[in-house]
Amino acid sequence: MTETITSRTVRSPAAAPVLSGLGLFTVLLAAALPLIDFFIVNVALPTIGKDLSASEAVLELVVAGYGVAYAVLLVLGGRLGDLFGRRRLFLGGMAAFGLTSLACGLAPTAWTLVAARIAQGAASAAMLPQVLATIQAATQGPRRAKAMGLYGATAGLAMVAGQILGGVLVAADIAGTGWRAVFLVNVPVVVMGLFLAAKVVPETRSQHPEPVDVPGTFLLAASLLALLVPLTEGRAAGWPLWTWLSLAAFPGLVSAFYAVERRADRQGLTPLVPPSLLALTSLRRGLVMIVPFAIGFSGFMFVIAVALQSGAGLGPVAAGLALVPLAVTFFLASLAGPRLVNRYGTRVVTAGSVIQAVGLALIVLAVWRSWPHLGFVELLPGAAVAGAGQALQLPIIFRIILSEVPTARAGVGAGVMVTTQQSALALGVATLGTLFLSLVPGMGMRDALAITLSAQLAGVVLTGLLSLRLPRTIG
């Protein structure tokens, strides 16, 4: 009897959570869903506008409402996972994502759809940080490196696949659902994900749970709202006074947020984003790099969807399929990424920037030479090269950012990283999208598209230069 009790006492604390192969598949499935839903509506917007009699400003809210709610609540989602258990938040967030997807698919009016999309973004913010935090807490060494590589590959593929899938579903008009299928398709996927997660995703949490930082949460949310809302809605609304006042308030809100967080850290409290976390060189430099990359990526996806449908006259399926070469080469190159990093270190990211720049230059050349006859064949060389370059950047940058984050703060680190990525994705649609749509009336769609892609090319060059400051090896 004594031996049995002793044996149990010794064995229980030693049992570290382990993420199995099926568990990794389950969390990666969940990681794909929010990113797919950020991009899946791009090719569905014209149909949504026609069916629900929605104005351009309301249609932008369908995209922006989701993205802003998602970005604003991500760090809080990571903190709550550390506090209450990541598996618990993961299951709750996934269930909420399924219910809000159903609400989007059944929305009777445009404003109902906007409200459901905002709720869907909030559900994503509860679910996604738990994916990275679980990987950090339940994997070690080479398995963690492989899992992080697969996460980065999943994220990149999800962003491209979302747009392709959206075109296919809208054109298929399954059982007369039209655009609604782009949301309803989530429901059976979520049911399967919940079934798997309940069985194979281990529970992890911080060994020293930290309470929610209410002032920090409020100021971070206010800062992101002050920046993202006017940038995403300003052009469609005609840049009213409130947009300029909101942008003017942004620097002050960010300064107040940093001051509150630094004071909490000095007083031994638990800030939402600990300044000590930002002191990690790999995290700080990786976050700076992900901004121009994500701005360019999301801006490209939005602009190319509009240009191919409104300018080149392609249907939603053809517009989506034009990006297939990018998705295929992204997938293949991401498989080689971990081996290349083991051999050449973080200079692989620099090489990826060069390759992506070549691909974008080829796309710009195709626009100049072939417009308006632009489609799969014309875009194939540039899209294929650009996809390979992106795959040698995004997964590796994710791995670099989280490489030094302590396991106890895995949720916070994941939340900070995904918040930065998501905010930059929203900024990409707002900035490059606004640039493109503003240039079209005066210059025509071909020249507007070429100039916007050239702006993205400048961002790729910046990413490459920033990559030279990364640590040569990844911990």
Tell me what pLDDT residue 12 has.
39
Query: Is residue 56 within 8 Å of 236, Cβ to Cβ?
Result: yes
Band (pLDDT 50/70/90 cuts) for residue 475 is low
Tell me what pLDDT residue 449 has.
92
pLDDT digits (tens, 9 = 90+) for 377-397: 999 999 999 999 998 998 888
Tell me what pLDDT residue 9 has.
35
Query: Is residue 222 within 8 Å of 255, Cβ to Cβ?
Result: no
Query: Is residue 248 within 8 Å of 307, Cβ to Cβ?
Result: no
pLDDT digits (tens, 9 = 90+) for 267-300: 877 787 888 788 888 888 889 999 999 999 888 8
- The Cα-based distances of 426 to 33, 71, 263, 291, 430 in angstroms read 17, 9, 30, 11, 6
**Token code pair at residue 139:** 């994997």
pLDDT digits (tens, 9 = 90+) for 185-241: 999 999 999 999 999 999 887 776 667 788 888 898 899 889 888 887 787 788 899
Residues 6+ apart with CB under 8 A from 225: 68, 72, 246
Residues 6+ apart with CB under 8 A from 146: 338
Cα Rg, the chain, nearest whole Å: 22
* 227 vs 405, residue with greater confidence: 227
Q: What percent of the chain shows pLDDT beyond 90?
A: 35
Residue (of 39, 70, 304) closest to 160 by Cα position: 39
* Residue 244: Cβ within 10 Å count: 12
- The Cα-based distances of 392 to 268, 348, 467 in angstroms read 40, 6, 12
For 356-360, what is the mean pLDDT?
Answer: 95
Given the structure tokens 């840049």, which residue do they identify? 239
Residues 6+ apart with CB under 8 A from 258: 275
Tell me what pLDDT residue 15 has.
60
End-to-end alpha carbon distance in the chain: 45
Band (pLDDT 50/70/90 cuts) for residue 42 is confident
Band (pLDDT 50/70/90 cuts) for residue 171 is confident
Tell me what pLDDT residue 254 has.
92
Query: Is residue 133 within 8 Å of 84, Cβ to Cβ?
Result: no
Could you give the angle at the alpha carbon of 455 between the alpha carbons of 296 and 425, nearest 5°?
20
Per-residue pLDDT at 8 exceeds 60: no
pLDDT digits (tens, 9 = 90+) for 84-104: 888 999 999 999 999 999 999
Tell me what pLDDT residue 413 has.
79
Please return the burial class of 369, using the count of CB atoms within 10 Å of its CB with bins 0-12, 13-18 and 19+.
exposed
- As a whole number of angstroms, the distance between CA 305 and CA 291 comes to 22
Tell me what pLDDT residue 372 has.
86
pLDDT digits (tens, 9 = 90+) for 15-28: 668 888 899 999 99
Per-residue pLDDT at 164 exceeds 90: no
DSSP code string of 22-72: HHHHHHHHHHHHHHHHHHTTTTTHHHHHHHHT--HHHHHHHHHHHHHHHHH
Tell me what pLDDT residue 380 has.
93
**Token code pair at residue 370:** 């072939």
Please return the burial class of 354, using the count of CB atoms within 10 Å of its CB with bins 0-12, 13-18 and 19+.
middle
* Residue 108: Cβ within 10 Å count: 8
pLDDT digits (tens, 9 = 90+) for 247-263: 999 999 999 999 998 89
Tell me what pLDDT residue 103 has.
96
Band (pLDDT 50/70/90 cuts) for residue 1 is very low
Q: List Cβ<8 Å contacts ≥24 apart for 309-312.
A: 309/43, 309/46, 310/445, 311/371, 311/372, 311/374, 311/445, 311/446, 311/449, 312/371, 312/372, 312/373, 312/374, 312/375
**Token code pair at residue 396:** 């590796």
What's the mean per-residue pLDDT of the chain?
85
Tell me what pLDDT residue 269 has.
76
Tell me what pLDDT residue 165 has.
86
pLDDT digits (tens, 9 = 90+) for 303-328: 888 888 888 888 878 887 888 898 88
**Token code pair at residue 67:** 């993205």
Query: Is residue 56 within 8 Å of 235, Cβ to Cβ?
Result: no
